[in-house]
Amino acid sequence: MIRAAAALALAVLFLPVIPLCAALSPEQRQLSLQSFEYVWTVIRDKHWQTKPGGLDWQAIHDEFKPRIEAADSMDAVRAVMSEMLARLHQTHFGIVSADLYSNVDASHSGDVTTGMDVRVIGAHVLVTSVETGSSAAAQGIRPGWEILKIAGADLAPVVAKLNETYAGSTLRDLMLRRTILARLSNDAAESIAVEFLDGAGQRVVKKLAQADPKGNLVQFGYLNPMHVWFSSSRAGAGRVGGGAIGYVAFNAFLDPERLMASFGEAVQSCQTCDGFVIDLRGNPGGIGIMAMGMAGWFIAQPDQKLGTLYMRDNTIKFVVNPRVATFSGPLAILVDGASASTSEIMAGGLKDLGRARIFGTHTAGAALPSLFEKLPDGDGFQYAIANYISEGGQPLEGLGVTPDVETPVTREALLAGKDPALDAAVAWIEQKKPVQKSPTK
């Protein structure tokens, strides 16, 4: 039965096709034809344009159906359907092989972690943060260490292949981070051997235990359960921990009851702060309407929009909901290549409204809501159901948000204990602080 398997609410999930070249049986031929008809029909009926991609979609059907009927392997079937979807020239449309889709479709009780976050900078996998109290912290791992091997497998060829696959794509940072984190996660009862290049340039191997991530385990729609966390502190003197600048970070726009309350409390407690920083780095998105409520803590004027979502039969305007007591000071938002979807909508919308200054690196350009479904032949099918246009009149999909201040991450900065994006945001806020004049006699 065809069913939705995962719906990332304004988020992204894309997986490459892995070809299987065995000849088709008569039953597989029939299932492949059914799959083709389903894919074509979904695009016809659910695409936000009545002429998807500006194409004569019936003519597309008539062109590609004979090629599906003539395909002699699953590899060929996928190639034909992928070529048909490529005619749209739009992202979030793809076919995922059955063996890979089974990983997407599998249910599990939650994710596990070693307590590290990573980014792939060029060809190098760098640890960007280590969670206090985690296995990684206990083993003495520090930001800036480079990961060379996981469970004995060299990461260099994996990174090289992914860099080739996503060359020129805004999804590159997001997908490489996701791939590495997936390799670092296995059964929670086991540990995993990871080889690093430490801060002194020495190769070291650490055996890291798996544990539940911090935060609350939540379930949303067809998504697998995930842990959602929120942190709030003060930033100043270039680092989190002290000063008169509010700082919040959270890993997804989910768990709205807890997250919205925590976010509001953080802003309310900082009404007299010199500025405020929202850290959306690594945040892949979630529930889009949460961005409207959060933005309302910083915009007092009514009828302001972050952007508009266009569907076939409906239009959703991301109208900001102003709070009674808004924060009017300088607002900085931190983003990177792993910031996607609702994170991009919030950052891009507040930038377009002239309310926030953006620091970090270019975002993932993955703003469309998409669905995953299982096809009759067992493959997965991803398709987008809407288009998003920012308040500035530009699509975010495939373009992303360009920071006002680019702050690339380097191994040297991480090893030195620096956070280029946060440091730049704090410096900007402190520059805007009114100069205190000495009283005259």
What is the structure's pLDDT at 95? 86
Q: Are 43 and 123 in contact (CB under 8 A)?
A: no
What is the structure's pLDDT at 84? 97
Query: Taking the CB of residue 57, how many other CB atoms lie within 10 A of it?
Result: 21
The C-alpha atoms of residue 249 and residue 7 are separated, in whole angstroms, by 24
**pLDDT, tens only, 159-170:** 998 898 888 888
Side-chain-side CA neighbours of residue 151 (13 Å): 12
What is the structure's pLDDT at 99? 62
Using DSSP's 3-state secondary structure scheme, residue 54 falls into helix
Using DSSP's 3-state secondary structure scheme, residue 13 falls into coil
* DSSP character at residue 69: H
Side-chain-side CA neighbours of residue 301 (13 Å): 8
What is the structure's pLDDT at 219? 81
Q: Which helix (H) or strand (E) holds 46?
A: helix 26-46
Q: What are the phi and psi torsion angles at 265 (to 5°)?
A: -65, -40
What is the structure's pLDDT at 439? 54
For Cα atoms 213, 217, 223, give the angle at the middle one, nearest 5 degrees.
105
Q: Which two three-digit tokens encode residue 151?
A: 């469970």
Q: Are 325 and 271 in contact (CB under 8 A)?
A: yes
Q: What are the phi and psi torsion angles at 59 (to 5°)?
A: -65, -35
What is the structure's pLDDT at 107? 37
**pLDDT, tens only, 91-120:** 778 887 776 544 444 434 346 789 999 999
Per-residue tens of pLDDT for the chain, all 441 residues: 333 333 333 444 333 433 445 678 899 999 999 999 999 999 999 999 999 999 999 999 999 999 999 999 999 999 999 999 999 988 778 887 776 544 444 434 346 789 999 999 999 999 999 999 999 999 999 999 999 999 999 999 999 988 988 888 888 999 899 989 988 986 555 789 999 999 999 999 999 998 888 999 998 765 668 899 999 999 874 444 446 999 999 999 999 999 999 999 999 999 999 999 999 999 999 888 999 999 999 999 999 999 998 998 889 899 999 999 999 999 999 999 999 999 999 999 999 999 999 999 999 998 887 787 889 999 888 888 888 898 888 888 888 999 999 999 999 999 999 999 999 999 999 998 776 555 554
Q: Are 177 and 282 in contact (CB under 8 A)?
A: yes
